[in-house]
Structure 1
Amino acid sequence: MSIAPIITAHDALPLQDRVVAITGGAQGIGRGIAQAVLGAGGSVMIGDLDVEAGHACLHEWNVGKRAAFRQLDVSREASVRRWINAALAHFDRIDGLVNNAGIADPHRQPLHELSLDTWNRYIGTNLTGAFLCSKYALPSIKNAGGAIVNIASTRALQSEPDTEAYAASKGGLVALTHAMAVSAGPAVRVNAILPGWIATDAWKKPQARHQPKLSKRDHIQHPAGRVGTPEDIGALAVYLLSGASGFVTGQHFVVDGGMTIKMQYV
């Protein structure tokens, strides 16, 4: 006679006592993810180019040693190495990594006018940065049996004109995700989130912060009925970093209010 499966309670704090390193974690989506991790019981090491924004996070969060900040340029290997070492010195380990830092502006010159320097800057920050951070964090994450989350974009799947460098960097992140999942598994799970339109105006450093100016049309063009928020990305990141997603790896998840499945006619 088989034993009936039991009802298992959901964990109220799924990242209790877990340490998550988050690049670009002082503003925007990165800050939204960091706050979600803190709300889920975890601790965060945030890295960001903007020192003022990083210190503002620590002041406003007021969570003591559960949060730390160090300036980070993900395109420079030495900076990444120092940032990871600082996280290990402060917390003794890293259980999860969120590769969020990147150049956010997708629009550049037409392809025939795009300079190699601009192309390399996008690839070096958005894609190579994720590689470098994963490279140096991976030994600790393997020991912890943790997870990595890469923040790509719906522009890995669809495009507007003159966005080749950005789209290529984000598409590369999706491919990097499934390659890492195979190489680092089963000890480490690796997944990607592809955000759509996320309003981050209220998630900047204090002096740059304001409520987003969004029209009714902005909201209703989304099947979900609204533009996204950093909390929407943070909620999924917590799931992917926690044991609740233990059978999920190598996947990419679109979080765009349904925009990529809506047929568009001019």
Structure 2
Amino acid sequence: MGTTYSNKTVLITGGAQGIGLGMAQAFAREGAQVIITDCDQEAGQEAIQWLKEQKLKAEFLLCDVSVEAHVVQLMEHVQNDHGKIDVLINNAGIASPERVPLQDLLVSEFDRVLGVNLRGPLLCAKYALPLLEKAEHPAILNISSTRAFMSEPDTFGYSASKGGLEALTHSLAVSLAPQRIRVNAIAPGWIEVGPWEKDSKKEVPSHSKEDKEQHLVGRVGKPEDIAEAALFLCSEKAGFITGQCLVIDGGMTVKMIYHH
């Protein structure tokens, strides 16, 4: 157990499963007061239980970050219980529907993805602002995706929202600089979250040789890979870093693939 984040309040949206839960575990291990939000009650309660089994403390609050009233309520709750936020991690994101051809895409589905992935981080930043201002070294971290820069076919909402989140990151960094709030992003590549899902969705990962070899490091990513970088970027050690996006993808985006 570390103490890097003792007496620090860390709010992680979408923290009940996957990368979010990996970060919750890491920050709790470093002594942070971790608050997980998620729109999945079952996953949230399981996450808290799982952390408790590791002697780690966290609290869970139900919240849909795309709904302004939910976010207002969330921040009021944090204000009353903690009085400040040292680190805000905008991690909540959805990708549904996974893939739909443009002609079949429902605008309502596109809007829903943008609502969670892009409006959510903006709302959280807006309403967390007074709480971040009370912290000594406040930081915001947005979890983007390498899909901000590259796409598979028919992933319009997800790609557009993550591209928007990249731009929102530098916009917030510039805008909140007078308040000394640093704002950065991490763009994960392929991260295997199977073992980090709630019990009813847990999967044992199986990756082919091709899956592994398309990464320069020879493997698919894990939530821990993102969590370690998040610990650094949100700490005072990264005090000279703001407005940046760190790509964590095992080198996949720099590898050119030609089929001969």
TM tier, smaller: over 0.9
Alignment-derived partner of residue 254 in structure 1 = 247
Q: Does structure 1 residue 36 correspond to structure 2 residue 29? A: no
Q: Using the TM superposition, give the Cα deviation of residue 115 of structure 1 relative to its aligned residue in structure 2, in angstroms.
A: 2.2
Alignment-derived partner of residue 129 in structure 1 = 120
Q: Secondary structure at the match of 2:134?
A: helix
Cα distance in 1 for partners of 2:96, 2:207 equals 19
2:4 to 14, 23, 26: 14
Alignment of 1:190-201 (within 5 A): 190-201=183-194
Summarize the Cα distance change of 1:203–1:137 in structure 2 as closer, same or farther, 3 Å threshold.
same
Q: Deviations over 1:55-97 (max 9, x none)?
A: 1122121278941111110110111111122222222221110
TM-score, normalised by the number of residues in structure 1: 0.91
Cα distance in 2 for partners of 1:31, 1:250 equals 24
Q: Does structure 1 residue 189 correspond to structure 2 residue 168? A: no
Tell me if the contact between 2:96 and 2:109 (Cα under 8 Å) persists in the aligned partners.
Answer: no
Q: Secondary structure at the match of 2:65?
A: coil
Alignment-derived partner of residue 147 in structure 1 = 139
Cα distance in 2 for partners of 1:174, 1:130 equals 11
Q: Using the TM superposition, give the Cα deviation of residue 234 of structure 1 relative to its aligned residue in structure 2, in angstroms.
A: 0.5
Corresponding pairs, count: 255
Summarize the Cα distance change of 1:107–1:205 in structure 2 as closer, same or farther, 3 Å threshold.
closer
Q: After the TM superposition, which parts of structure 1 deviate over 6 Å for at least 4 consecutive aligned residues? A: none
1:217 to 202, 210, 229: 210
Tell me if the contact between 2:114 and 2:157 (Cα under 8 Å) persists in the aligned partners.
Answer: yes
Alignment-derived partner of residue 165 in structure 2 = 173
Cα distance in 2 for partners of 1:246, 1:61 equals 29
Tell me if the contact between 2:96 and 2:113 (Cα under 8 Å) persists in the aligned partners.
Answer: no
Q: Secondary structure at the match of 2:35?
A: strand
Tell me if the contact between 2:83 and 2:131 (Cα under 8 Å) persists in the aligned partners.
Answer: no
AA aligned to 1:184 is L
Cα distance in 2 for partners of 1:217, 1:106 equals 26
Q: Does structure 1 residue 81 correspond to structure 2 residue 72? A: yes
TM-score, normalised by the number of residues in structure 2: 0.93
Q: Using the TM superposition, give the Cα deviation of residue 41 of structure 1 relative to its aligned residue in structure 2, in angstroms.
A: 1.8
Cα distance in 1 for partners of 2:109, 2:182 equals 32
AA aligned to 1:76 is V
| Cα RMSD after superposing both structures | 1.6
Alignment-derived partner of residue 231 in structure 2 = 238
AA aligned to 2:219 is R
Cα distance in 1 for partners of 2:109, 2:203 equals 30
Alignment of 1:58-97 (within 5 A): 58-62=48-52, 66-97=57-88
Q: Identity of aligned pairs, percent?
A: 50
Summarize the Cα distance change of 1:106–1:181 in structure 2 as closer, same or farther, 3 Å threshold.
farther
Q: Deviations over 1:119-147 (max 9, x none)?
A: 21111111001101111111111221310
Summarize the Cα distance change of 1:105–1:229 in structure 2 as closer, same or farther, 3 Å threshold.
farther
